[in-house]
Amino acid sequence: MTGTDIRQTRPWLLVSDIDDTLTGSSEALQRFSDAIARYHDRIWFAVNSSRPSGSVAETLERVFPPGLKPDAVITALGTEISLGGEPVPDWDARFEGWPQERIFEIVSRFGHRPHAPEFQTPRKVSFAIPGEKAQAEVRAALAEQNIRCRIIASGIDDFDIIPENAGKDAATLHLARTLGCDITHVVVAGDSGNDLAMFHVVGNGIAVGNARQELLDGLEPGTFYHARHDHAAGVLEGLRHYGALPATDGDP
């Protein structure tokens, strides 16, 4: 399936984080699944996770209802995109020359704990680095070595390093262009600080009811919709708020 084959066939695109945004309530996720299936001709559904593709695939298989299949999957903090189950080749090509091994070596010198091997990818280096001072030291070391990168710090100590032209935001925009979806009809949903970038590039953002303060503090009041409901119920609520789904389509 190519962008030329599918352009402009659905007016809306939802790009949603997975962990604690869609997941957290199996009942709400089932209602979300039912709504996406009912309005499949109206909205593209994509997930956008900080985790690598293998980890996300396991969640989609084990946690998502059987009928809930994303049209597109963005993984590893916006460094991987698949559409219709196939990688988007022009996306991966932009990261040629990314010095993953060199970056891993630089950060390791500080003695910080790397995330498990399954969370490291050719385009993402992930460590647990607690505290602003320790993180600032690593940032300075990377800058001194002229490493062109983006750093996403979230949670207590999550510290992820990706190419400067990657990210949840850049991948969202690339997917929207591939699908021929107008940016005014792109809706993003999230719950944590590593979702902030998505909110900054679209006008329709949903912070689920259980969103962390780190996300809410990073957003300007009035620039997003803070749902009353948690998890997938909050995503549904936000989709109705923006008109991507009919407002009369039942309760969240």
Q: What is the pLDDT of residues 238-251, one digit of tens each?
A: 999 999 999 875 55
What does DSSP assign to residue 208? -
CB contact set of 170 (below 8 Å; sequence gap of 6+) = 78, 197
Q: Indicate the pTM of the whole model.
A: 0.88
Q: What is the pLDDT of residues 74-98, one digit of tens each?
A: 999 999 999 999 998 889 889 999 9
C-beta separation of 161 from 149 below 8 A: yes
State the DSSP string of 140-174. Answer: HHHHHTT--EEEEEETTTEEEEEETT-SHHHHHHH
pLDDT value at residue 89: 80
Q: What is the pLDDT of residues 138-152, one digit of tens each?
A: 999 999 999 999 999
For residue 5, give the H/E element and its range.
Answer: helix 3-6
Per domain, the residue ranges of the chain are 3-93+166-242, 97-163
The three-point CA angle 221-226-228 to 5° equals: 145
CATH number of 3-93+166-242: 3.40.50.1000
Count CB neighbours of 252 within 10 A.
21
Alpha-helical runs (H) found in 39-131: 53-62, 89-92, 100-108
Query: 97-163, what's its fold?
Result: Hypothetical Protein Ta0175; Chain: A, domain 2 (3.90.1070)
**What type of residue is 156?**
I
Please determine, for residue 8, whether its predicted confidence score (pLDDT) is greater than 70: no
**Which residue bears the tokens 């869609």?**
22
